[in-house]
Amino acid sequence: MKKKAIILVGVLLISFVFMGSASASYRQTIIEELECAYGSDGAYDTEFIFTNVPATGAYTLTVSIKGDYNGYDDDEHVEIFIEGTSFGVLPEGYNDDWQCSCEFLTKTVTLTKSQINQWMADGKIVVTLEQGEDVDCFCGEEGCVCGDNSKCGNINMVTLESSGNSLPMDWIMKKFGLGKKN
């Protein structure tokens, strides 16, 4: 029993140290205000660059937009690209209430460790929100105000976040007779 206890303490100490790095999480949010060409209403595409992204497991990419986004049917949407690969559009439908909305429209995409490794080969992950043909920048004007007196805005926001990993502590506990025996 003494030997088992010493081994367990050693495994737990090593696990504790390893878990600090294995379950290290990554989370970065980048916010960009839409820009339009002078004398034109069309919005430029927005680009987000993530660096130092550890390939520790699965990730989620959350895209949130506020502005002139009535919907896909009206060419007032963004198409989400990661390193040149399309991950769909936001919003996918059409709704007049989305025009200069005070609330963000949001879409989340799950990414694999393999994808993160591939994209980080050059040291960065580039996410591009390609603005639809009819997306304009008028939602940031003074006449567009939300209930809390903030401007509606023309905002694109992207968050890249790891799901985190951990060691199989249940297995360790069972192995040393401290957990369930099944």
Q: Answer for the pair 61, 82: CB distance below 8 angstroms, yes or no.
A: yes
Half-sphere exposure for 37 (CA within 13 Å, toward CB): 7
What's the CA gap between 93 and 29, in Å, rounded?
25
Predicted local distance difference test score (pLDDT) of residue 61? 97
Predicted local distance difference test score (pLDDT) of residue 93? 87
> In degrees, to the nearest 5, what angle opens at C-alpha 79 toward C-alphas 74 and 83?
165
Predicted local distance difference test score (pLDDT) of residue 90? 95
By CB neighbour count within 10 A (0-12 exposed, 13-18 middle, 19+ buried), where does 82 fall?
Answer: buried
Predicted local distance difference test score (pLDDT) of residue 40? 64
Q: What is the pLDDT of residues 97-145, one digit of tens each?
A: 888 888 899 999 999 999 999 999 999 999 999 999 989 888 877 667 7
Entry pTM: 0.74
Mean per-residue pLDDT over the chain, rounded: 80
Predicted local distance difference test score (pLDDT) of residue 22? 47
Q: Answer for the pair 56, 26: CB distance below 8 angstroms, yes or no.
A: yes
> Which ranges of the chain have pLDDT less than 50?
12, 16-23, 165-171, 179-182
Q: Evaluate the CA torsion angle 41, 46, 58, 83 in order and state its sign.
A: positive
Predicted local distance difference test score (pLDDT) of residue 149? 67
Q: Per residue in 5-41, is it b (16+ CB within 10 Å) or e — as a string? A: eeebeeebeebeeeeeeeeeebeeeeeeebebeeeee
Predicted local distance difference test score (pLDDT) of residue 2? 66
